[in-house]
Protein backbone atom coordinates (compact mmCIF):
# COMPACT_ATOMS: atom_id res chain seq x y z
CA UNK A 1 0.00 0.00 0.00
CA UNK A 2 1.68 3.25 -1.07
CA UNK A 3 1.63 6.14 1.38
CA UNK A 4 -1.21 8.57 1.03
CA UNK A 5 -0.05 11.82 -0.56
CA UNK A 6 -1.06 13.73 2.53
CA UNK A 7 1.30 11.59 4.61
CA UNK A 8 4.33 12.67 2.66
CA UNK A 9 4.84 16.40 3.09
CA UNK A 10 3.08 18.67 5.53
CA UNK A 11 1.88 21.81 3.78
CA UNK A 12 3.92 24.10 6.03
CA UNK A 13 7.07 22.32 4.91
CA UNK A 14 5.82 22.33 1.35
CA UNK A 15 5.32 26.06 1.52
CA UNK A 16 8.99 26.58 2.23
CA UNK A 17 10.23 24.29 -0.51
CA UNK A 18 11.06 27.09 -2.92
CA UNK A 19 13.30 28.91 -0.48
CA UNK A 20 14.93 25.54 0.19
CA UNK A 21 15.46 24.91 -3.50
CA UNK A 22 16.70 28.43 -4.07
CA UNK A 23 19.12 28.17 -1.19
CA UNK A 24 20.39 24.90 -2.61
CA UNK A 25 20.81 26.48 -6.03
CA UNK A 26 22.64 29.43 -4.55
CA UNK A 27 24.94 27.04 -2.73
CA UNK A 28 25.56 25.21 -5.96
CA UNK A 29 26.96 28.48 -7.14
CA UNK A 30 24.62 29.77 -9.74
CA UNK A 31 21.23 30.10 -11.26
CA UNK A 32 20.70 26.80 -12.97
CA UNK A 33 18.68 27.21 -16.14
CA UNK A 34 15.29 26.54 -14.65
CA UNK A 35 13.12 24.15 -16.63
CA UNK A 36 9.87 25.59 -17.89
CA UNK A 37 8.16 25.73 -14.55
CA UNK A 38 7.04 28.76 -12.65
CA UNK A 39 10.34 28.90 -10.80
CA UNK A 40 11.06 31.98 -8.75
CA UNK A 41 7.38 32.88 -8.48
CA UNK A 42 5.57 32.42 -5.21
CA UNK A 43 2.82 29.82 -5.38
CA UNK A 44 -0.67 30.96 -4.52
CA UNK A 45 -2.25 29.74 -1.31
CA UNK A 46 -4.52 26.71 -1.31
CA UNK A 47 -7.42 29.04 -0.55
CA UNK A 48 -6.70 31.17 -3.60
CA UNK A 49 -6.34 28.05 -5.73
CA UNK A 50 -9.43 26.21 -4.52
CA UNK A 51 -11.91 28.98 -3.66
CA UNK A 52 -11.93 31.03 -6.86
CA UNK A 53 -12.77 28.68 -9.66
CA UNK A 54 -14.30 28.69 -13.07
CA UNK A 55 -16.24 25.45 -13.11
CA UNK A 56 -19.48 26.01 -14.98
CA UNK A 57 -20.69 22.51 -14.04
CA UNK A 58 -21.34 24.03 -10.62
CA UNK A 59 -21.80 27.75 -11.17
CA UNK A 60 -20.68 30.66 -13.29
CA UNK A 61 -19.90 32.48 -10.04
CA UNK A 62 -16.28 31.75 -9.16
CA UNK A 63 -16.75 32.55 -5.48
CA UNK A 64 -19.36 29.85 -4.80
CA UNK A 65 -18.04 26.90 -6.80
CA UNK A 66 -16.05 25.46 -3.89
CA UNK A 67 -19.17 25.41 -1.73
CA UNK A 68 -21.39 23.84 -4.38
CA UNK A 69 -18.68 21.27 -5.11
CA UNK A 70 -18.39 20.06 -1.53
CA UNK A 71 -20.75 17.13 -2.02
CA UNK A 72 -19.20 15.96 -5.27
CA UNK A 73 -17.98 12.34 -5.00
CA UNK A 74 -14.65 11.88 -6.80
CA UNK A 75 -14.41 8.17 -5.95
CA UNK A 76 -14.90 5.58 -7.29
CA UNK A 77 -13.70 6.86 -10.65
CA UNK A 78 -12.72 5.40 -13.95
CA UNK A 79 -11.22 7.06 -16.97
CA UNK A 80 -11.22 5.35 -20.35
CA UNK A 81 -8.70 5.68 -23.16
CA UNK A 82 -10.22 4.64 -26.47
CA UNK A 83 -10.41 5.39 -30.17
CA UNK A 84 -7.48 5.18 -32.56
CA UNK A 85 -5.24 3.01 -30.43
CA UNK A 86 -4.17 -0.61 -30.15
CA UNK A 87 -5.04 -1.09 -26.50
CA UNK A 88 -8.15 0.80 -25.43
CA UNK A 89 -8.65 0.52 -21.71
CA UNK A 90 -10.69 1.83 -18.81
CA UNK A 91 -8.54 2.67 -15.80
CA UNK A 92 -9.67 2.67 -12.23
CA UNK A 93 -8.30 5.78 -10.53
CA UNK A 94 -6.22 3.85 -8.01
CA UNK A 95 -4.62 1.66 -10.69
CA UNK A 96 -3.74 4.72 -12.72
CA UNK A 97 -2.13 6.55 -9.82
CA UNK A 98 -0.18 3.42 -8.86
CA UNK A 99 1.01 2.88 -12.39
CA UNK A 100 2.41 6.39 -12.89
CA UNK A 101 4.81 8.05 -10.49
CA UNK A 102 3.35 11.32 -9.25
CA UNK A 103 5.50 14.41 -9.73
CA UNK A 104 5.10 17.82 -8.17
CA UNK A 105 5.24 20.64 -10.68
CA UNK A 106 4.70 24.34 -10.12
CA UNK A 107 2.86 25.79 -13.13
CA UNK A 108 1.40 29.16 -13.93
CA UNK A 109 -2.30 29.06 -14.81
CA UNK A 110 -3.68 31.89 -16.94
CA UNK A 111 -7.47 32.13 -17.10
CA UNK A 112 -8.97 33.60 -20.26
CA UNK A 113 -10.72 36.08 -17.95
CA UNK A 114 -7.49 37.91 -17.23
CA UNK A 115 -6.46 36.45 -13.87
CA UNK A 116 -3.74 33.98 -13.08
CA UNK A 117 -2.34 31.67 -10.44
CA UNK A 118 0.84 29.81 -9.64
CA UNK A 119 -0.14 26.28 -8.67
CA UNK A 120 1.94 23.43 -7.23
CA UNK A 121 0.20 20.62 -9.08
CA UNK A 122 0.83 16.93 -8.51
CA UNK A 123 0.41 14.56 -11.40
CA UNK A 124 2.02 12.66 -14.26
CA UNK A 125 2.58 13.34 -17.96
CA UNK A 126 -0.41 12.66 -20.18
CA UNK A 127 2.06 11.15 -22.65
CA UNK A 128 2.63 8.22 -20.29
CA UNK A 129 -1.10 7.48 -20.06
CA UNK A 130 -1.59 7.71 -23.82
CA UNK A 131 1.50 5.61 -24.58
CA UNK A 132 0.03 2.75 -22.56
CA UNK A 133 -2.77 2.51 -25.10
CA UNK A 134 -0.43 2.63 -28.11
CA UNK A 135 -1.99 5.28 -30.34
CA UNK A 136 -2.07 4.38 -34.03
CA UNK A 137 -0.86 6.65 -36.83
CA UNK A 138 -4.46 7.80 -37.30
CA UNK A 139 -4.51 9.32 -33.82
CA UNK A 140 -3.91 12.97 -34.71
CA UNK A 141 -5.99 14.58 -31.99
CA UNK A 142 -7.11 13.77 -28.46
CA UNK A 143 -10.67 14.47 -27.33
CA UNK A 144 -11.42 14.77 -23.62
CA UNK A 145 -14.81 14.43 -21.99
CA UNK A 146 -15.68 15.45 -18.45
CA UNK A 147 -18.15 13.84 -16.09
CA UNK A 148 -21.90 14.35 -16.51
CA UNK A 149 -23.68 14.35 -13.15
CA UNK A 150 -26.45 16.94 -13.01
CA UNK A 151 -27.52 15.43 -9.69
CA UNK A 152 -24.31 16.58 -8.07
CA UNK A 153 -23.34 19.39 -10.44
CA UNK A 154 -26.13 21.94 -10.32
CA UNK A 155 -24.68 24.02 -13.16
CA UNK A 156 -25.28 21.10 -15.52
CA UNK A 157 -29.05 21.44 -15.05
CA UNK A 158 -28.88 24.57 -17.21
CA UNK A 159 -27.70 24.38 -20.80
CA UNK A 160 -25.12 27.15 -20.26
CA UNK A 161 -22.70 24.89 -22.16
CA UNK A 162 -23.30 21.76 -24.20
CA UNK A 163 -22.75 19.20 -21.42
CA UNK A 164 -20.71 17.20 -20.80
CA UNK A 165 -17.75 19.58 -21.04
CA UNK A 166 -15.46 18.67 -23.91
CA UNK A 167 -11.91 19.69 -24.72
CA UNK A 168 -9.25 18.66 -27.16
CA UNK A 169 -5.55 18.79 -27.98
CA UNK A 170 -3.48 18.02 -31.02
CA UNK A 171 -1.57 14.76 -30.48
CA UNK A 172 1.80 16.56 -30.26
CA UNK A 173 0.37 18.95 -27.67
CA UNK A 174 -1.03 16.02 -25.72
CA UNK A 175 2.31 14.16 -25.84
CA UNK A 176 4.30 17.25 -24.82
CA UNK A 177 6.17 16.70 -21.55
CA UNK A 178 4.60 19.81 -19.99
CA UNK A 179 1.06 18.43 -20.43
CA UNK A 180 0.13 16.95 -17.09
CA UNK A 181 -2.67 14.73 -15.82
CA UNK A 182 -3.25 16.31 -12.42
CA UNK A 183 -4.39 14.33 -9.38
CA UNK A 184 -3.44 16.72 -6.60
CA UNK A 185 -2.34 20.13 -5.45
CA UNK A 186 0.02 20.99 -2.59
CA UNK A 187 0.65 17.28 -2.24
CA UNK A 188 -2.98 16.60 -1.37
CA UNK A 189 -5.75 15.06 -3.46
CA UNK A 190 -7.33 17.57 -5.79
CA UNK A 191 -10.15 19.60 -4.18
CA UNK A 192 -13.48 19.07 -5.93
CA UNK A 193 -13.55 22.71 -7.07
CA UNK A 194 -10.30 22.16 -8.95
CA UNK A 195 -11.61 19.18 -10.91
CA UNK A 196 -11.19 16.14 -8.67
CA UNK A 197 -10.13 13.48 -9.10
CA UNK A 198 -8.35 14.00 -12.43
CA UNK A 199 -7.85 17.07 -14.58
CA UNK A 200 -5.39 18.36 -17.14
CA UNK A 201 -2.82 21.09 -16.72
CA UNK A 202 -1.75 22.53 -20.08
CA UNK A 203 0.13 25.56 -18.79
CA UNK A 204 0.70 27.45 -22.05
CA UNK A 205 -3.01 27.52 -22.88
CA UNK A 206 -5.89 29.39 -21.27
CA UNK A 207 -7.26 27.60 -18.23
CA UNK A 208 -10.43 26.33 -19.90
CA UNK A 209 -8.29 23.95 -21.99
CA UNK A 210 -7.26 22.18 -18.77
CA UNK A 211 -10.45 20.13 -18.52
CA UNK A 212 -11.60 19.01 -15.08
CA UNK A 213 -13.06 15.71 -13.84
CA UNK A 214 -12.01 13.72 -16.91
CA UNK A 215 -13.86 10.46 -17.57
CA UNK A 216 -13.11 9.73 -21.21
CA UNK A 217 -10.11 10.24 -23.49
CA UNK A 218 -10.51 9.45 -27.18
CA UNK A 219 -7.73 9.34 -29.75
CA UNK A 220 -9.27 10.68 -32.96
CA UNK A 221 -8.34 11.59 -36.50
CA UNK A 222 -10.33 14.84 -36.85
CA UNK A 223 -10.00 17.93 -34.64
CA UNK A 224 -12.62 17.64 -31.88
CA UNK A 225 -15.12 20.42 -31.27
CA UNK A 226 -14.77 21.75 -27.73
CA UNK A 227 -17.51 23.02 -25.42
CA UNK A 228 -16.36 26.63 -25.69
CA UNK A 229 -15.94 26.48 -29.46
CA UNK A 230 -19.62 25.52 -29.63
CA UNK A 231 -20.68 28.19 -27.15
CA UNK A 232 -18.82 31.14 -28.71
CA UNK A 233 -16.81 30.22 -31.82
CA UNK A 234 -15.69 33.80 -32.42
CA UNK A 235 -14.19 34.05 -28.95
CA UNK A 236 -12.71 30.61 -28.37
CA UNK A 237 -10.68 28.68 -30.90
CA UNK A 238 -9.35 25.14 -30.76
CA UNK A 239 -5.81 26.09 -29.76
CA UNK A 240 -6.49 28.77 -27.11
CA UNK A 241 -2.78 29.36 -26.59
CA UNK A 242 -2.13 32.25 -24.21
CA UNK A 243 -1.51 35.07 -26.66
CA UNK A 244 -1.50 38.79 -25.83
CA UNK A 245 -1.87 39.56 -29.54
CA UNK A 246 -5.27 37.91 -29.91
CA UNK A 247 -7.82 40.16 -28.22
CA UNK A 248 -10.96 38.95 -26.48
CA UNK A 249 -14.06 41.16 -26.50
CA UNK A 250 -14.34 41.21 -22.71
CA UNK A 251 -10.99 40.57 -21.07
CA UNK A 252 -7.60 42.04 -21.78
CA UNK A 253 -5.22 39.33 -22.93
CA UNK A 254 -2.30 41.74 -22.68
CA UNK A 255 -2.24 41.69 -18.92
CA UNK A 256 -3.49 39.66 -16.00
CA UNK A 257 -4.18 39.89 -12.32
CA UNK A 258 -2.13 37.38 -10.35
CA UNK A 259 -4.44 36.43 -7.49
CA UNK A 260 -3.16 38.01 -4.30
CA UNK A 261 -1.76 41.04 -6.11
CA UNK A 262 -3.38 44.46 -6.41
CA UNK A 263 -2.46 45.58 -9.92
CA UNK A 264 -2.23 43.73 -13.21
CA UNK A 265 1.00 42.49 -14.77
CA UNK A 266 1.82 41.82 -18.42
CA UNK A 267 0.77 38.48 -19.91
CA UNK A 268 3.53 36.53 -21.62
CA UNK A 269 3.11 34.71 -24.96
CA UNK A 270 2.41 31.02 -24.30
CA UNK A 271 2.08 32.07 -20.64
CA UNK A 272 5.87 32.18 -20.44
CA UNK A 273 6.38 28.63 -21.78
CA UNK A 274 7.30 29.74 -25.30
CA UNK A 275 10.82 28.28 -25.13
CA UNK A 276 9.28 24.84 -24.64
CA UNK A 277 6.25 24.92 -26.88
CA UNK A 278 6.60 27.60 -29.57
CA UNK A 279 8.17 25.01 -31.91
CA UNK A 280 4.87 23.08 -31.91
CA UNK A 281 3.32 25.93 -33.88
CA UNK A 282 6.13 26.72 -36.34
CA UNK A 283 4.73 28.12 -39.58
CA UNK A 284 1.23 28.68 -38.18
CA UNK A 285 -0.46 32.08 -38.05
CA UNK A 286 -1.54 32.03 -34.42
CA UNK A 287 -3.67 35.14 -34.83
CA UNK A 288 -5.84 33.19 -37.24
CA UNK A 289 -5.61 29.83 -35.49
CA UNK A 290 -6.29 31.06 -31.99
Sites of contact with another protein (CB under 8 A):
47-48, 51-52, 56, 60-63, 113, 115, 160-161, 231-232, 235, 247-250, 252, 254-255, 257, 259-260, 262-264
Closest separation in Å from C-beta 212 to another protein: 15
Instruction: Report the nearest approach of another protein to the CB of residue 52 (Å).
Output: 4
Task: Closer to another protein by CB, 51 or 100: give it.
Answer: 51
**Is residue 141 within 8 Å of residue 168, measured between CB atoms?**
yes
Q: Give 59's DSSP letter.
A: B
Query: What is the nearest approach in angstroms of another protein to the Cβ of residue 2?
Result: 33
Choose between 121 and 236: whose C-beta lies nearer to another protein. 236
d(CA 237, CA 96): 31
Burial of 250 per CB tally in 10 Å (0-12, 13-18, 19+): exposed
86 neighbors 168 (Cβ within 8 angstroms): no
Of 80 and 160, CB closest to another protein: 160
Count of helix runs (H) and strand runs (E) in the chain: 10, 12
Task: Kindly tell me the sign of the dihedral angle through the C-alpha atoms of 19, 195, 116, 233.
Answer: positive
Q: Which of 213, 225, 82 is nearest to 156 (CA)?
A: 213
DSSP run (H or E) holding 169: strand 166-170
Strand order in the sheet with 166-170: 89-92, 78-83, 214-220, 141-146, 166-170
Nearer to another protein, 232 or 284 (CB): 232
CB of 252 to another protein, least distance (A): 6
Nearest to another protein of 48, 132 (CB atom): 48
Shortest distance (Å) from residue 149 CB to another protein:
18
| Closest distance of CB 268 from another protein, Å | 16
Q: How far is the CB of 54 from another protein (least distance, A)?
A: 9
43 phi/psi in degrees, rounded to 5: -70, 150
**By C-beta, is 140 or 255 nearer to another protein?**
255
Closer to another protein by CB, 102 or 271: give it.
271
Amino acid sequence: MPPRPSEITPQAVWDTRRSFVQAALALAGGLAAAPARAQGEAANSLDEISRYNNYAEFSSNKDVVWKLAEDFRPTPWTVSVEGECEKPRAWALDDLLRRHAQEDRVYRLRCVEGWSLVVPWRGFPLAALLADSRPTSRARYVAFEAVMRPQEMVGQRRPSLNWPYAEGLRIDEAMHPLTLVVSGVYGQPLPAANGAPLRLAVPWKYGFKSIKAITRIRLVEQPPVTAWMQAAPSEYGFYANVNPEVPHPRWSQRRELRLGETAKRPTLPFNGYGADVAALYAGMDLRQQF
